[in-house]
Structures are given as structure tokens and as C-alpha cells.
């Protein structure tokens, strides 16, 4: 049995809004082992019966089954296409796969008939109220299909005949609005009715117009919200009708009196206008809308990875604090909002204050929110039971103080809903250590809480910005946990758009800081181009290529990557680079008292990343066949490494900076002279012992600490570091009962006091980057950069840490890679692996002395154990250590 199944288009299932020739992928299904595709045939048609085939590859001798582009395909706007595939492995031929479908976007600015319209005027620049816009239209005969394309300056919720269109929230998301704006596509065929129909939208300030950033500035992109939509209706007789936003629409204020990202939402249900988005509504009191000029060339369709309500949490308990506050505990620190129901008289209010943790006395703790209010105020209409949740804001919280509520506060009337980008889970990890399993849980929820359309630094205080360093540090871990390809590609487009003309990379993307930080004590020194932060420009595309195997991301980001390397080169002093404001080993514990900056010198961290990114970029040049650039940047890389060694190593092989982070970077980035590797490792171990086996690293050193140990023969020391339970450690937080990752190792100190409220998030994924080590080393799932995307996988689990079993998987574009190991009597190890069809793997048996069960595979002795090359299938091995 051989089949091609799970057909995807741009990694999505039957997507809407494709704007370029798509990449097709499929998974091979077979009941045999060592199955490799020998050929495929792919057809694209305009109809599901494939009577009108517009692209037929014929039989192509190729093993490619991911990122395959149809040849000779010319896409029409707002059209549907159908795809099918059949394959051969040289022994069998499959039949045609099930049919997949994709629908194109408007493709070019000329195809837009709609215009951005607003119900606001210049006097509204200082407020964050919600507005409504609406129109009516007629449907004259039976409809075959209807698709709507919509976007906004601000945030929007679209309605058709009284129903919300689509499941998405916080659309169109946050981008560099003047250079890149997304629009969404929805199938609304089933929502139309013969005769009169009504379409409308509720608009909010969002990231576009609201107060954003710790400087509290408004109108970062514009001072009026606006809505854009274009509905294309196809009738049974083939005729088409277009309904779009224009000057004929009407506008009104809404019951949303105030809504902002940081401060929450105020809603007065007494102002609701029943039937406002139904046909026949009397809008005589509504005002004319006006058009807002906009450059339609920056509009891009968003086919997937949108923000949605993803999981619901009932309130676990209602309790009174020592101060007498009524508090709801939802048991999970999350990003989203609260759904509640309430009954009372007109004018009664519900007031909810959201927060993350209780203080040492058990009272609500709001200080770490800084100026963010995180408050929802709902005024009742009165009479029947009412339900509500906010529209254009989100909160970071586990707890909610119920400041006002008519009647008794009952847990069953409240539920928290996690709202984040809808990413398909790809990784799983569990082991015999329940604390590590909890750490894995916390890492996942740190990612979910901070992947709200962009990768943010935190979801609760008056910040929530796309800090590049946090994203760079965590991207490898994130890409094990979930399919982050579209999520990061969208953000990388904004990174490139917001680079300075010279190639500098902003500290935050989208960039709302440049030119606005004169009064800030820190960022007035520079708003772009910090080592480890700006290096996201290179490290993220490389990570996506390594994880998913698609060279296209390297092509698209090439100019951006090159510009960043050239920026560093132009500002380097010889081979040493250090530019204006640097964050260094941010919030490391070896910092001076009261300082955010770790003890590792900036010129060392900067030059280390200068070398690392340049080396990656040289590899990328080679992959893309850019021979001249490959030669140029390979030579530059060698120069930087040589300069690093001469500058930061003494003649006796000591590093000039005696910090954990300095040694970690020198080892992990392969900057240590070969003759000094052992000494560097020994010194790192000594630095660990000086702190009783604890880390004192910050954002730069922490992600690579365990790797620097295990890659240099000290896996057991890496396990001991990971499994530390007292402060400071990962499991210190787990033992404290938290459900996400903290920004600071000492966010809550052992005595229960808090780190400074200036910057103390309890949902901050950066230190969750250790999750990468769980997958790559503990489970041993490692990507081969010569055959990325799991085309060939290196499976080399490192046994240790007192663990008796580990079970992990990663779902690649070819199917899941699975690894499970368990120990018996401390010496025998059982290893079960599953390798997806159309791929191969190298199995490494860690420190094996003898292979006692080889599953018919040929193992060869090597340094560190035994290894074997295997084809696809499931295998079970046993070996003695």
C-alpha cells in the first residue's frame, strides 16, 4: 500500500488568500520500511473533477515531497484551484491522492474596488472608542460562492446579516502599517440570503492608533481607524457582483467607549443598537463615512496563522484575599480575556482587574503592570442574563480581581479564554521527571502567551513589543513546539521593512521606537542594532530553513541578512564590533547590584555574534549559489574568528572575561582555538562550581549553556544544571508552582519578595529556550543542515539525569519523527525510533559498549558509542552502556 496523503498548500490545509505560486507538500503512507519516493505527478485544475487541468507536471523523477511548486501555473485573482498528486517508490505506484484546494487573493492593488472608510474625524485622534460602519445590498439569485476580503487601520470585527464573519480575533494584526498590511479572506457563501443583506464592522484603535510602548505615545501609524472590505459574489449563471466599502456606507459610535491593548475595554450595553448589522435597520441617525487615502501596494493576503480563541479555562476557585479582595483563580497564566455572564439592572457594572501573581501576603499584585490598567468595565443593559468578553484588547493574567459585580460572584459564571496565534502543534516531550514535564508545559504556555500575531516580550505590562532578541533566543525552541514557519515569515517581512537604510535592525519589530526615544533613559542611546537582538535578521531565517527545509525563506530574506552583516562590518573596529546601545547579557545575575547589564563585556558578546551571524550567512550564500558572496563572507568570517581569538584569548588560553557567558559563547559559537577548548570547558565547569552548580547567565548565555556542556563531553553536568531546584534555576520556578516562564530568575525571591516592579514579567519566554536542549539532546532529535527539514535526521539521545524514560516527537513536513528511550538497571537502554517515509536517519547510541538488539540494522563503532544509517520505519534497539 502506497499513498500520498495530507496534501498541504504553503503548509496549510485548503487555505484561502494565496498570493503567489504555492508550495505543495504531501506525506507518504506505506506499510513497508525504507520507503523512498522515486517519482511524482502533480496536477492543478480549475475544477474539483479535474476536467480543466491547467498544470500537469507529468511523471517527474524526484524524491521531493515538500515545497514543490507547480510549473507553468498562472494564477487568476479570487479563483479556486484544486491539487492532486500520485507517487511511485520504484516498487509500487499510488493512485491519485485526495483533492486539496486553495483560493487566491486579489493578487494586485488594481483588483481592489473597496476603499478604506472611517466613521471618525480629526477630533477623534485622542480617543480609543469603537465605531460602527454598515451598508446594505441585495442578492438577486442563487449564489454559487461568495468571498470577502477585509482589513482595517486599527482592529476590526466584521459582521454579515447579524453574524460575525470568521473565527479570527484582533485582525488584521500588527505589522509595519505603512510598509506592510495584511488582509483576510473568508468564505461567506452560507451567510448570504436572497433579497436584502447587511454588512458591517466594529472598529477599534488597536496597535494602529492606540497608546503603545512604554513611552505611552498614541497614533503611531495614524489617527483614525478605518475599514476595508470587498465581497465578490458569483451567481449560478456565472455573473459576478462586487460589494465594497465606499462613501455610501454609514457610521456611528458603538457601545465600546474605550478599548486599548494595555488598558482594557469599557463597554456600555445600554448603547447597543439592536439589529445594526441586519437588513432593514433604521440608520437615519448615523453619519456619513469618509475615505482614508492608503497605498494599496502594501496590502498582502494572510492565508493562515491568525489569532483566535484557542482554549478555555474555567475558574478554579473564588477566594477572598487578606485585604478583602474578591479574586478568581483560573489556574493558568495566559494571554486572552474573560468570558462572563451576569444578571442585574440597567447601569449596574462589572469591573475586572487582571493580574499574574499574588504577593507574599496573598493579595493581588499589580505593581509589575506599570501603567497598564488591564481593566474591563461592563455596564449592564438590564433585564435578561447578559454575556460579554472584550473585543480589541488582551490581558496577561492568571488571576482576576472582581472589583464590582451585581450579585454573588460564582466561579461557574466566569471562564478565561487563551487568545493567541493559531499555531499547529508539532512537538511533544515527556519524561520520568514530573518537574521537567511541568517545565515543558510552562515553556509551551510562555510561547502561547507571547505569540499574539507577533513574538512579544510579555503580555501584561505597558510594553508587549516585538523585541528581536527574545524572538531570536527562543525561535529554535518554538519551532520544535509548533509550526512557526508562517508566523515568523510574516514577522521577518516587517523586520526587513523596518531596517534602517544602512541595514541596522530595530530593537523591536514592528518598530515604534525609532525617532521617539529621546526622553528614555536607555533607548535614547540607540533604538537599533544590538548584538543578539538584531541578529534575528540572520538566525531566524536560518532556523526556519533548518527546521522546514524551504530555501525560499533564505531567498526572500537575503537582502535583509546581507544588509545586517554589512552594517556590522561597516561599524567594526578591525574584527571587533560594538555599536552604541548594547544590551549584552541582559539581566544576568552577575550584573552589578541594581543593573540590568550582565558582567560579560559588550565587545565580546557583540563580536561573538558578529562571527556567528557572518558564518551562518556565508553558509546561506553557498546554499543559494551566490559564489562571489560566499567567498567574500567566508573570508570575513575567518577574519572575525581570528580577531576574536587574538582579542579575547590570552596567550595561555584564558578568556579575558571570566564569566559563564563568555565561555559559553566561545564554545557554542566555535570561537575557541582548538588547543584551548579543554581549558575553556574546564574553566566553565569551575565557574559553575563557584556558584554551587548554578547559572548566573542572562539572555545571551542561558540558551546555550547546556549545549556548551553536552557538546563538549559534559552531558551529566548539563543535566545537573537543568535539574537544579533551588534559586536560581528553571525548576526553582516550577517548584514555586508557576505555569509560565519568568523574565527574571528571581522574579519572586525565596523570601517571597518581588524583583523590581519596573520590569518583572511572569510570562516571558526567553529562558524557556532550554526547551531546545530537551529536544535536541535529551530526546536527541537533531536536524542535518545538509538535508534540512528532517530529510535526514540525526537521532542521538543523551542518556542521563536519572531519567528512566523519555518520549518525544517532532512532526516534520514528511511526517513525525519519534524517539523513546528507557533504562533498565542503569545499564541497559531500550531505544525506539520512528523515521517518516521519504527520509533517512542516523542513529547514535550514546556511550554504548555493546548493541544487544539491532533490529536488523548494521551498527558501526565510533567515538562515543555506535551508529547506523536507517531508512523509514519503526525500530527498536537495545544497548548496554
Active site residues per annotation:
463, 743
SS3 474: helix
Classify residue 538 as exposed, middle or buried by CB count within 10 Å of its CB (0-12, 13-18, 19+). Answer: buried
Asked if 845 and 827 touch (Cβ cutoff 8 Å), the reply is: no
Cα separation, 328 vs 314, in Å, equals 10
Q: Compute the chain's Rg from CA coordinates.
A: 28
Grid look-up 501603567 returns 371
SS3 248: coil
The closest alpha carbon to 352, from 367, 360, 342, belongs to 342
Enumerate residues 6+ apart whose C-beta is below 8 A from 460.
354, 355, 356, 368, 369, 372, 374, 395, 396, 397, 761, 762, 763
Residue/partner pairs of 106-109 with CB below 8 Å, 24 or more apart: 106/77, 106/78, 106/149, 106/230, 106/299, 106/301, 107/19, 107/75, 107/76, 107/77, 108/77, 109/296, 109/297, 109/299
Asked if 420 and 449 touch (Cβ cutoff 8 Å), the reply is: yes
Cα separation, 541 vs 246, in Å, equals 40
Question: How many Cα atoms are found within 13 Å in the side-chain-facing hemisphere of 233?
Answer: 20
The closest alpha carbon to 834, from 805, 858, 810, belongs to 810
Measured in degrees and rounded to the nearest 5, phi and psi for residue 815 equal 125, 180
Q: How would DSSP label each residue in 154-173?
A: SEEEEEETTEE-SSB-SBT-
Cα separation, 206 vs 272, in Å, equals 21
Measured in degrees and rounded to the nearest 5, phi and psi for residue 480 equal -80, -35
Asked if 352 and 364 touch (Cβ cutoff 8 Å), the reply is: no
Grid look-up 520520568 returns 432
SS3 628: helix
Whether the ω angle into residue 658 lies within 30 degrees of 0, i.e. cis, is no
Grid look-up 496536477 returns 43
Cα separation, 151 vs 230, in Å, equals 9
Asked if 757 and 368 touch (Cβ cutoff 8 Å), the reply is: yes
- The secondary structure of 523-590, three-state, reads HHHCCECCCCCCCHHHHHHHHHHHHHCCCHHHHHCHHHHHHHHHHHHHCEECCEECCCCCCCCCCCCC
CB neighbour burial string for 500-532, b if at least 16 within 10 angstroms, e if fewer: eeebbbbbbbbbbbbeebeeeeebeebbbbbbb
Beta-bridge partners for 396: 335
Beta-bridge partners for 227: 117, 152
Cα separation, 62 vs 52, in Å, equals 25
Beta-bridge partners for 455: 451
Question: How many Cα atoms are found within 13 Å in the side-chain-facing hemisphere of 442?
Answer: 29
SS3 280: coil
Q: What's the length of the chain?
A: 881
The three cell numbers of residue 197 are 443583506
The closest alpha carbon to 865, from 779, 776, 794, 798, belongs to 798
Amino acid at each position: 500500500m502506497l499513498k500520498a496523503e495530507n496534501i498541504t498548500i504553503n503548509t496549510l490545509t485548503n487555505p484561502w488568500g494565496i498570493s503567489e505560486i504555492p508550495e505543495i507538500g504531501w506525506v507518504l503512507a506505506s506499510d513497508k520500511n525504507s520507503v523512498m519516493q522515486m517519482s511524482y505527478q502533480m496536477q492543478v485544475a480549475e475544477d474539483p473533477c479535474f476536467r480543466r487541468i491547467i498544470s500537469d507536471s507529468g511523471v517527474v523523477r524526484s524524491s521531493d515531497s515538500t515545497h514543490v511548486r507547480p510549473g507553468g501555473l498562472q494564477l487568476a485573482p479570487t479563483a479556486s484551484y484544486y491539487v492532486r498528486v500520485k507517487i511511485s517508490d520504484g516498487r509500487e505506484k499510488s493512485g491519485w491522492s485526495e483533492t486539496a484546494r486553495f483560493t487566491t487573493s486579489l493578487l494586485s492593488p488594481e483588483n481592489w474596488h473597496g476603499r478604506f472608510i472611517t466613521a471618525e474625524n480629526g477630533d477623534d485622534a485622542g480617543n480609543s472608542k469603537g465605531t460602527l460602519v454598515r451598508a446594505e445590498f441585495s442578492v438577486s439569485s442563487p449564489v454559487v460562492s461568495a468571498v470577502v476580503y477585509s482589513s482595517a487601520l486599527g482592529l476590526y470585527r466584521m459582521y454579515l446579516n447579524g453574524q460575525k464573519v470568521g473565527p479570527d480575533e484582533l485582525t488584521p494584526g500588527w505589522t509595519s502599517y505603512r510598509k506592510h498590511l495584511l488582509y483576510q479572506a473568508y468564505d461567506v457563501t452560507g451567510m448570504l440570503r436572497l433579497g436584502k443583506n447587511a454588512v458591517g464592522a466594529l472598529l477599534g484603535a488597536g496597535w494602529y492608533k492606540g497608546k503603545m510602548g512604554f513611552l505611552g505615545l498614541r497614533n503611531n501609524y495614524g489617527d483614525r481607524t478605518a475599514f476595508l472590505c470587498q465581497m465578490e459574489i458569483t451567481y449560478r449563471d456565472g455573473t459576478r457582483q462586487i460589494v465594497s466599502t465606499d462613501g455610501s456606507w454609514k457610521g456611528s459610535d458603538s457601545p465600546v467607549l474605550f478599548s486599548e491593548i494595555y488598558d482594557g475595554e469599557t463597554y456600555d450595553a445600554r448603547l447597543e443598537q439592536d439589529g445594526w448589522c441586519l437588513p432593514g435597520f433604521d440608520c437615519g441617525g448615523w453619519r456619513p463615512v469618509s475615505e482614508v487615502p492608503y497605498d494599496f501596494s502594501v496590502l498582502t493576503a494572510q492565508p493562515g496563522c491568525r489569532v483566535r480563541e484557542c482554549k478555555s479555562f474555567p475558574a478554579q476557585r473564588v477566594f477572598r484575599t487578606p485585604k478583602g479582595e474578591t479574586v478568581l483563580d483560573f489556574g493558568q497564566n495566559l494571554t486572552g480575556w474573560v468570558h462572563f455572564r451576569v444578571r442585574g439592572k440597567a447601569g449596574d457594572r462589572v469591573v475586572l482587574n487582571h493580574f499574574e501573581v499574588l504577593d507574599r501576603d496573598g493579595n493581588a499584585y499589580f505593581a509589575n503592570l506599570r501603567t497598564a490598567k488591564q481593566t474591563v468595565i461592563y455596564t449592564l443593559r438590564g433585564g435578561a442574563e447578559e454575556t460579554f468578553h472584550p473585543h480589541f484588547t488582551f490581558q496577561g493574567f492568571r488571576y482576576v480581581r472582581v472589583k464590582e459585580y451585581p450579585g454573588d460572584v460564582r466561579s461557574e459564571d466566569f471562564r478565561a479564554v487563551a487568545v493567541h496565534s493559531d499555531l499547529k502543534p508539532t512537538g511533544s516531550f515527556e519524561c520520568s521527571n514530573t518537574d521537567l514535564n511541568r517545565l515543558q508545559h510552562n515553556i509551551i504556555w510562555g510561547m502561547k502567551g507571547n505569540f499574539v500575531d507577533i513574538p512579544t516580550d510579555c503580555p501584561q505590562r505597558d510594553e508587549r513589543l516585538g523585541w528581536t532578541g527574545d524572538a531570536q533566543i527562543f525561535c529554535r525552541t518554538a519551532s520544535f513546539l509548533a509550526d512557526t514557519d508562517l508566523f515568523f515569515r510574516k514577522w521577518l517581512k516587517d523586520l526587513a521593512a523596518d531596517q534602517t537604510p544602512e541595514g541596522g535592525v530595530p530593537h523591536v519589530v514592528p518598530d515604534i521606537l525609532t525617532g521617539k526615544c529621546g526622553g528614555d533613559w536607555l533607548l535614547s542611546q540607540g533604538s537599533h542594532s544590538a548584538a543578539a537582538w538584531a541578529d534575528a535578521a540572520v538566525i531566524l531565517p536560518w532556523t526556519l530553513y533548518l527546521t522546514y527545509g524551504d530555501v525560499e525563506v533564505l531567498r526572500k530574506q537575503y537582502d535583509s541578512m546581507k544588509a545586517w552583516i554589512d552594517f556590522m562590518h561597516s561599524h567594526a573596529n578591525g574584527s571587533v564590533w560594538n555599536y552604541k546601545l548594547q544590551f549584552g547579557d541582559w539581566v544576568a545575575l552577575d550584573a552589578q547590584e541594581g543593573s540590568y547589564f550582565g558582567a560579560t563585556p559588550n565587545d565580546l558578546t557583540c563580536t561573538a555574534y558578529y562571527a556567528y551571524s557572518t558564518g551562518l550567512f556565508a553558509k546561506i550564500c553557498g546554499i543559494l549559489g551566490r559564489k562571489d558572496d560566499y567567498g567574500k563572507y567566508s573570508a570575513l568570517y575567518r577574519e572575525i574568528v581570528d580577531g576574536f581569538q587574538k582579542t579575547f584569548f590570552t596567550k595561555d588560553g584564558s578568556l579575558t572575561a571570566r564569566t559563564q557567558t563568555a565561555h559559553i559563547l566561545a564554545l557554542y559559537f566555535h570561537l575557541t582555538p582548538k588547543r584551548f577548548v579543554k581549558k575553556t570547558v574546564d574553566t566553565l565547569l569551575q565557574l559553575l562550581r563557584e556558584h554551587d552548580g548554578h547559572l548566573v547567565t542572562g539572555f545571551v548565555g542561558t540558551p546555550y549553556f547546556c549545549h556548551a556542556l553536552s557538546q563538549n563531553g559534559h552531558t551529566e553536568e548539563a543535566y545537573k544544571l537543568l535539574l537544579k531546584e533551588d534559586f536560581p534555576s528553571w525548576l526553582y520556578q516550577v517548584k514555586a508552582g508557576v505555569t509560565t516562564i519568568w523574565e527574571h530568575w528571581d522574579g519572586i525571591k525565596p523570601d517571597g519578595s518581588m524583583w523590581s516592579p519596573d520590569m518583572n514579567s511572569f510570562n516571558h519566554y526567553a529562558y524557556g529556550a532550554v526547551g531546545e536542549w530537551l529536544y535536541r539532546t535529551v530526546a536527541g532529535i537533531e536536524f542535518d543542515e545538509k538535508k534540512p527539514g528532517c530529510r535526514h535526521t540525526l537521532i542521538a539521545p543523551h542518556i542521563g539525569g536519572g531519567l528512566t524514560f523519555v518520549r518525544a516527537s517532532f512532526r516534520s513536513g514528511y511526517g513525525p519523527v519519534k524517539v523513546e528511550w528507557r533504562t533498565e538497571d542503569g545499564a541497559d537502554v531500550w531505544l525506539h525510533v520512528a523515521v517518516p517515509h521519504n527520509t533517512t536517519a542516523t542513529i547514535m547510541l550514546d556511550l554504548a559498549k555493546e548493541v544487544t538488539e539491532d533490529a536488523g540494522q548494521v551498527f558501526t563503532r565510533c567515538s562515543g558509542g555506535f551508529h547506523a544509517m536507517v531508512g523509514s520505519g519503526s525500530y527498536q534497539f537495545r544497548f548496554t552502556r
